[in-house]
Structure 1
Amino acid sequence: MTRLTLTVSVRCVTEDGRGTEVVPDWVNPVVLAGLTLLVLAGAEAVRGTVHRWRRAGSASGR
């Protein structure tokens, strides 16, 4: 059995050398989309926090 992390892959190889992919084809696009959404959400959270800090700073007269 061979395993890879990214891209997600588990390949079962028999003694005679025949291999079968155990992970379905749709898994890797879903993982990539999820990681992309995670990065975008994190960037938006940082942007919103910085924006709030700047507005709070200008409202207090700094």
Structure 2
Amino acid sequence: MVIELYQLPYSAPCLQVRMVGKILNIPIETKHLDLEKGEHLKPEFLKINPFHCIPTMVDDGFALWER
């Protein structure tokens, strides 16, 4: 099972999530969100995270985000 990580590549909190995944050998599929284009405000992402913040992780339908 792969964890989906909605993120920005140069965001420090997102980097921390990727580093922990690498240390614990957890497969992570990164999904880039372009905040300048408003991708974090699209209805598809708001269903996952109504607070539209990153990083957001999804594991088998369970979403977890930093707030």
The structure whose residues are more often helix, as a share, is 1
Please indicate the TM-score interval, normalised by the length of the shorter structure.
under 0.3
The structure whose residues are more often strand, as a share, is 2
TM-score normalized with structure 1 length? 0.26
TM-score normalized with structure 2 length? 0.25
Q: Compare relative contact order (CA 8 Å, sep 6+) and give the higher one, 1 or 2.
A: 2
